[in-house]
Amino acid sequence: QTVVTQEASFSVSPGGTVTLTCGLSSGSVSTSYYPSWYQQTPGQAPRTLIYNTNTRSSGVPDRFSGSILGIKAALTITGAQADDECDYYCVLYMGSGIWVFGGGTKLTVL
Amino acid sequence: QVQLVESGGGVVQPGRSLRLSCAASGFTFSSYGMHWVRQAPGKGLEWVAVISFDGSSKYYADSVKGRFTISRDNSKNTLYLQMNSLRSGDTAVYYCARALGPKLGRYFDYWGQGSLVTVSS
């Protein structure tokens, strides 16, 4: 059973830069897993941030960027703002019609 | 604009059935694959099922395989999730999401607001 790993929590200072990662319990994440990233504030539906590793969804500011860093997918937020404080989820396509979400990262801006 | 509106949630006893609907508007529904994703209270997102644009391909998470059925009616622009043999572990907010990419897509782009399903005696 493949597990998609994310940091449980992360903290960043206002105006700072933070990189959240998305890995596999076994193996490396590559573009072949079509990594994508979603933002969710409490009580709200998820919002699509990044798809196809590094393509920003419509309306997403360029403070958010996606990449592959080493063996993981990564979401980098530059110039962190107070309203970036929420949960971030990655999801990987495993092939054969199966997707697996990471456990999510709770980002604190303080 | 793209809109996805889920309905059909509620409280149901363990072992019973429930059908969720997702009404789509603002895009050509019959051209897109669609997903169901759920979120248990206080937990993360869990992918549940996907259906291709024409309904010919369907895939499920192991946790629901054999109990849940995804389907669609392109004439009504509606996606469905038939949930049978419900368990307490199925308690969650269920979101429908549009697939981005060919056939099944590879990503989710638009999301509904969710429908809460509570399985409890």
- Of A36, A35, A97, residue with least CA distance to B103: A97
pLDDT at B105: 87
Q: How does the average pLDDT of chain A come out, rounded?
A: 96
B5: nearest CA partner in chain A: A45
Enumerate residues 6+ apart whose C-beta is below 8 A from B58: A97, B49, B50, B51, B52, B69, B70, B71
Which tokens go with B109?
């782009």
Q: Which residues of B touch A96 (CB under 8 A)?
A: 59
Average pLDDT (A70-94) is 97
**What does the pLDDT look like over B27-62, one tens digit per residue?**
999 999 999 999 999 999 999 999 999 999 999 999
pLDDT at A22 over 80: yes
Contact in structure between B98 and B34 (CB atoms under 8 Å): yes
Residue type for position A35: P
pLDDT score for A2:
86
The alpha carbon of residue B96 is apart from the nearest alpha carbon of chain A, in Å, by: 10
Tokens of B117: 């399903």
**Beta carbons of B107 and A36 less than 8 Å apart:** yes
Q: Which residue ranges of chain B lie beneath pLDDT 70?
A: none
- pLDDT for the residue numbered B103: 77
